[in-house]
Structure 1
């Protein structure tokens, strides 16, 4: 079981936000008999729409943020990735970090102050990107998202973070969802994107989007399932005492479809 602390991150990984996780101390060994995988075979057999695992090392997860970023949209997935509980594995699985245009403090929803870990110029290449709702996304952020998404396993948007992802142009001709109160606005602004109403999350290639707020937690658990299988996702949800089952059913937001 992973244990976390409120102590600052190590200097080796940059400046930590107000709430931070323990520095990486272990390396995820490749133990599978399945070529190209870093997990035991029994963890892979139940994966749907699987993601390719690294041969070794943690999976870097970047959170691009700006002024007005919504806390639950990124702190929910942040905690999920930092709590990933793999059967038979000890140590950290994902390395999370925030990225912004500068290292100046950012004021998030509710007044929380966050010092970004990296700038867009200095951030390590991510394999997963989580785009939360925020008020200060600009062309620098959009350009960074476009650039890194060429090599990501998943670039996911949460809530109206889908507008940020859509503004990159990457969603053109693809499917997505967003916060239910923003459906009409999203469809009017992006007629070339197929909006799925009532979806807890939508996956389309290496892009994904979640519905509003807590939906990002389900999509993050779903990403763990795609990497490591159903058992790992269930154990992570259990550790977090998360009783929601939306990560198992992308259509579970049907109540919001109308």
Structure 2
């Protein structure tokens, strides 16, 4: 475990209408499961996930799953890692308030993690300019066309570029989330988390 990590690490996850369920649920399960396995000295989860939405209204994910977020953008909760799942992101990209919030919180987060088409939201903030990134294989050409300043990778399941990690589509977010657990804590916790989930981790 990271030697100076003695207080819980909080993951702030954006949710929005038409978010992809596994883009959201896969990393959520990884981080929350790791938090059940790794505890603080007073037996609190060392990893916590908080969801954030534009409003208090329930979010309808792809397929109809309804989600009520823990916080709104206006509440602006504190967190250490910003998580941006994908889905149908067109309306979110056009929402200047959400993009501005992402841009600001990306600068203050220790790490930003996008899954699938969440890369489009991250690219909209300018955070991927001149940097390598990936997204779902169906959307890689569009990301390159709409954001030519991004160095789109087509040969990997995720890209770790220091303070930004981007992953390919849907289930690749689980692999990248396990990589993040291994990077922020240790490989043993990542392996234990994958085993607890009965998931075969593709590294």
TM-score, scaled relative to structure 1: 0.72
| 2:48 maps to 1:95 | yes
Higher helix fraction: Structure 1 or Structure 2? 2
Root mean square deviation, CA, Å: 1.9
SS in 1 for 2:63: helix
| 2:104 maps to 1:151 | no
| 2:11 maps to 1:65 | no
SS in 2 for 1:110: coil
Aligned residue for 2:186?
A: 229
Measured after TM superposition, the shift of residue 218 of structure 1 is 0.9
| 2:31 maps to 1:81 | yes
TM-score, scaled relative to structure 2: 0.90
SS in 2 for 1:243: coil
Q: Is the 8 A contact 1:87 1:232 kept in 2?
A: no
Q: CA 1:88–1:232 in 2, change beyond 3 Å: closer, same or farther?
A: farther
Aligned residue for 2:174?
A: 217
Equivalent residues, number: 196
Measured after TM superposition, the shift of residue 151 of structure 1 is 2.0
Measured after TM superposition, the shift of residue 88 of structure 1 is 9.8
Which 4+ residue blocks in structure 1 deviate beyond 6 angstroms?
none
Measured after TM superposition, the shift of residue 195 of structure 1 is 0.7
Q: Is the 8 A contact 1:176 1:193 kept in 2?
A: yes
Output aligned runs, 1:44-193, within 5 Å.
56-84=6-34, 85-86=37-38, 91-135=44-88, 136-137=91-92, 138-193=95-150
| 2:165 maps to 1:208 | yes
SS in 2 for 1:66: coil
**Post-superposition CA distance 1:116-163 (Å, at most 9, x none):** 111112132221111111333122111111111122121111011111
Distance, in Å, in 1 between the alignment partners of 2:157 and 2:44 is 30
**Post-superposition CA distance 1:173-230 (Å, at most 9, x none):** 1110010011111111111110111211001131110001001111111111011111
SS in 2 for 1:111: coil
| Greater Rg by CA | 1
